[in-house]
Structure 1
Amino acid sequence: MLFNSLDFAIFLPIVFFIYWFLVNKSIKKQNIVLLVASYVFYGWWDWRFLSLILFSTIVDYCLGNLMYRTEKVSRQKIFLYTSLFVNLGLLFYFKYCNFFLDNFINAFSFFGLNFNVSTLKVILPVGISFYTFQTLSYTIDIYRRNLEPAEDFISFAAFVSFFPQLVAGPIERATNLLPQFYKRRVFSLEKAKSGLRQILWGLFKKIVIADQCAKYVNIIFDNSDGYSGSTLLVGAILFAFQIYGDFSGYSDIAIGVSRLFGFNLMKNFAFPYFSRDIAEFWRRWHISLSTWFRDYLYIPLGGSRGGLKMKIRNTFIIFLVSGFWHGANWTFVIWGALNAIYFLPLLLFNKNRSNMDVIGGKSYIPTFKDFVKMLLTFSLTVFAWIFFRALNLEHALSYIVGIFDSTIFSTPEVAPFFLNIYILSFLIIEWFGKNSDYAIEKLFVKRSRVIRWAFYMLIVFVIIGNVSNQQDFIYFQF
């Protein structure tokens, strides 16, 4: 079920009514409603994969309890490794099996050895990368004694399958989200209003920015050989806005919907395109994944505690694994490697934590120095996004060569006027809202109700006017 669909527009009020008006006096009944709603939400796409979520839930629930109850470290490790093997094994099979088979065949064919091995017809379950990492945080934190096992199976199952963030995050830690299923949720009108505002802004990002960019991005990337360098550059820039609007828009909707039900999810995006270096960008982009890799991979590998070689090694491991997490394609690995290379000078000169504050503070205009840094960081990011969007390495390289052609100085063949207006308006609103959790959280809140509601209605009308070009969420494929 898609957030930007009629199905969800009917589904959400029904669940909301049952949750707050019929079972609001019982935490357990509310959790059951959320569990059933989550399974309906996920099963709307393909009911067969509900068994996969249920299997992972049962396995980790049992292993978590067994791990916590035993005092022997050796047994705790056995239970932890079992959880890792089951969860990562399922992820490997569904997401990477054909990738490794294809590369195995190609490697031997290079030496003249041909194998008649057929690839498997495996359908990638939506959101498997997200809920796999979410359940792994549960077992790892129990092993570390940072968390006690779930109080009951219903609470844990609802945590694993919580429908707002089930298929595309944020990737919640068990230490943050799971305890919220134990507590009584009291309806808050202010919280609900804030959630609706964030949902509205998320829909604007998705439908008006991402989906409209996608229309031109798909044309340019799918026919890149026939376009000028300037047009290819426009296509790469539009994809940068597409993927940001698409993914951060999903996160905004997920966080807003969760707030309607009394839950607080972690912030997943913090205006990343206003970053002044790549380190700052990665502190602001897909925060739930970046911090997951930091806490469960980077730090256990030694983090920044060792010598320079260890720091460099761990940095490349993190970025390469992050790239591979996104998909079974060498383009994602190169994308990760590029970001590691971008990050390296900051690491070598100990500048990776230079920009911890919000750019410009509360100023309306950034300094010239900050503007140049922001533009350079955005340019590096756009270049890396080409590998992320390209079908394969050959396509990515030919696209890049095409950009740096003499025709880069020509007039672009694709120049969508209204989309440019939307993007410019979007950037202005994001800039003025950069000190908030989401751009319109505090915008016009202190103004009169007429001005505030006129602004909201304008966003609604713009969304309705662009709803005909709906696209799937990009991160559903991950």
Structure 2
Amino acid sequence: MFFNSLAFAVFLPVVFFLYWFVFNKSKSTQNALLIVASYCFYSCWDWRFLFLLVFSTFLDYYTGIQIEKGKSERSRKFWFWLSILVNLGFLGVFKYYNFFAASFSELLNSVGIQASPILLSVILPVGISFYTFHGLSYVIDIYLKRIKAEYNFVDYSLFVSYFPLLVAGPIERATHLLPQVKVKREFNFQTAKEGVCQIIWGLVKKVVIADTCATYANAIFDNYTSMNSFSLILGAIYFAFQIYGDFSGYSDIALGVSKLFGLDLLRNFNYPYFSRDIAEFWRRWHISLSSWFRDYLYIPLGGSKGGIWMKIRNTFIIFVVSGFWHGANWTYLAWGFINAVYFLPLLLSNSNRNNIDEIHLKFNFDSVKVIISILSTFLITCVAWVFFRAKTITDALLYLKQIITNKQFYFQYLENDRYNYELLIIIGLFVLIEWNNRNKVEPLSGKGNMLKIVIAIAAIIALGTFSDYKEFIYFQF
């Protein structure tokens, strides 16, 4: 069930009505309803993997209690590592086994040793990377005595399986979401109104921006050898807006839906393409994942407190692991490595925290520098996105080489040519709207919001009617 589907358009109002008008007597009945709704939501993809979600939930619930009750450090470590290894084991088997098996086989074949790997014919359970990280952070926080174990299984199950964030985040923390699910929620009209606005803007990002850009980005990347420099540059830009509109759109819808139920989720995107350097970009892009790796990997490794080589090591570890989290492909590792290279000069020069203030432009030279910084950051981000989107590292390198060597700049006809100049106008308007509303959670609230909402809905209907894409990109991660 997709957020942008008719099924969800029916599912959400039904759950909303039951939540506030039938199961509103206590927080326990509210939570029970949301768990049932979440399991129904998840089962729409493949009901068989529901058992994996339930097992993962019970594992971390039980081991969390055992860690807290452990009378010795040895006992605490046993339950802690049991949870870590089982969770990562499931993730490794479903997501990474075939990659490692095939890569090892290719390595043996390259040195003359014939090998035929045994590959698993299984699909990746949707959302496994997200709900696994929910459980891992919970267990780690208990082990480090940051939080107490949750003894109410219903409350904990809702934390892990809450349907707005279940399949593509944001990656929640027990310290943030669990306290909210442990109390009864009261309906707040203003919060619900804000939620509706955020849902609509998320759909604009997905349907109007991401899906429209996908038409061109896919055509260009799939036929890059016959594309000229201008088309390839546009292809990289289109994909940059596709993945931003797709993923941040999902996050906006998730946050908006959650507001309808009186729950507040972590913000996952903060206008990342207005960043002035790559460090600021990573403070604004997929915030829940970046902060997760910072708190549970980067800082435990020593962060930036050690010597220069430790700083370099930790930077590359955090970015390469982040790339590998996205998928079992060398292109994701390359994407992470490239971002580490981008980030390293800022870290070593202690300038990675320079741009933490709000952006204000005036008619002066400093504003020109800010605009140049934003454009150059977007440029290098697009270069990295080429590796993220390409099927192989070789394809990515040839794509970039073709941009440099072709030297032809004109619009090329594409088979899916529904939009051409219009798409650039749509992207330009989208950037302008986001820029003018960059200090708000979303652009639709505030003065004249009804007119904004009507225009947004009209755009969703007009472009969504012809959309070839439904699934969100991050479902595959």
TM-score, normalisation: structure 1: 0.96
User: Is 1:144 aligned to residue 148 of structure 2?
Assistant: no
Q: Distance in 2 between matches of 1:338 and 1:232?
A: 20
Q: Secondary structure at the match of 1:404?
A: helix
What is the CA distance between 1:116 and its match in structure 2? 2.5
Aligned pairs for 1:61-460 (under 5 A) are 61-360=61-360, 367-411=367-411, 413=413, 416-441=420-445, 445=446, 447=447, 451-460=448-457
What is the CA distance between 1:361 and its match in structure 2? 6.9
CA contact (8 A) 2:80 2:139 kept: yes
Q: What whole-Å deviation, never above 9, does each CA across 1:314-352 have from its counterpart, x for those lacking one?
A: 000000000000000000000000000001111111110
Corresponding residue for residue 464 of structure 2? 467
What is the CA distance between 1:360 and its match in structure 2? 1.7
Distance 1:157 1:239, change over 3 A: same
- Structure 2: give runs of 5+ residues left out of the alignment: none
CA contact (8 A) 2:361 2:367 kept: no
Amino acid at match of 1:29: T
What is the CA distance between 1:418 and its match in structure 2? 2.1
Amino acid at match of 1:90: F
CA contact (8 A) 2:130 2:167 kept: yes
CA contact (8 A) 1:170 1:268 kept: yes
What is the CA distance between 1:439 and its match in structure 2? 3.2
Q: What whole-Å deviation, never above 9, does each CA across 1:18-77 have from its counterpart, x for those lacking one?
A: 000001111111111000000000000100000000000111110000111123112111
Q: Distance in 2 between matches of 1:413 and 1:300?
A: 52
CA contact (8 A) 1:227 1:413 kept: no
What is the CA distance between 1:176 and its match in structure 2? 0.5
Amino acid at match of 2:218: N
- Structure 1: give runs of 5+ residues left out of the alignment: none
Q: Secondary structure at the match of 2:407?
A: helix
Q: What whole-Å deviation, never above 9, does each CA across 1:433-461 have from its counterpart, x for those lacking one?
A: 111223334xxx2x3xxx43122101100
CA contact (8 A) 2:331 2:390 kept: yes
Q: Distance in 2 between matches of 1:434 and 1:299?
A: 30
Q: Distance in 2 between matches of 1:71 and 1:243?
A: 48
What is the CA distance between 1:362 and its match in structure 2? 9.7
Q: Secondary structure at the match of 1:466?
A: helix
What is the CA distance between 1:305 and its match in structure 2? 1.1
Q: Distance in 2 between matches of 1:345 and 1:394?
A: 26
Q: Distance in 1 between matches of 2:361 and 2:20?
A: 39
Q: Distance in 2 between matches of 1:363 and 1:184?
A: 51
Q: What whole-Å deviation, never above 9, does each CA across 1:248-276 have from its counterpart, x for those lacking one?
A: 00000000000100000011000000000
CA contact (8 A) 2:231 2:409 kept: no
What is the CA distance between 1:407 and its match in structure 2? 2.6
Q: What whole-Å deviation, never above 9, does each CA across 1:189-246 have from its counterpart, x for those lacking one?
A: 0000000000010000000000000011111111111111110110011000000000
Q: Distance in 1 between matches of 2:75 and 2:323?
A: 33
Q: Percent identity?
A: 54
Q: Distance in 1 between matches of 2:443 and 2:453?
A: 13
CA contact (8 A) 1:330 1:392 kept: yes
What is the CA distance between 1:425 and its match in structure 2? 1.2
Distance 1:262 1:90, change over 3 A: same
Q: Distance in 1 between matches of 2:235 and 2:24?
A: 49
Aligned pairs for 1:3-18 (under 5 A) are 3-18=3-18
CA contact (8 A) 1:275 1:359 kept: no
Q: What whole-Å deviation, never above 9, does each CA across 1:263-298 have from its counterpart, x for those lacking one?
A: 000110000000000000000000000000000000
What is the CA distance between 1:364 and its match in structure 2? 13
Q: Distance in 1 between matches of 2:332 and 2:6?
A: 33
Q: Distance in 2 between matches of 1:12 and 1:144?
A: 38
Q: Distance in 1 between matches of 2:352 and 2:396?
A: 28
**Once superposed, which parts of structure 1, at least 4 consecutive aligned residues long, lie more than 3 Å away?**
361-366, 408-415
Q: Distance in 2 between matches of 1:329 and 1:363?
A: 46
Q: What whole-Å deviation, never above 9, does each CA across 1:102-137 have from its counterpart, x for those lacking one?
A: 011001001111112231102101111111001101
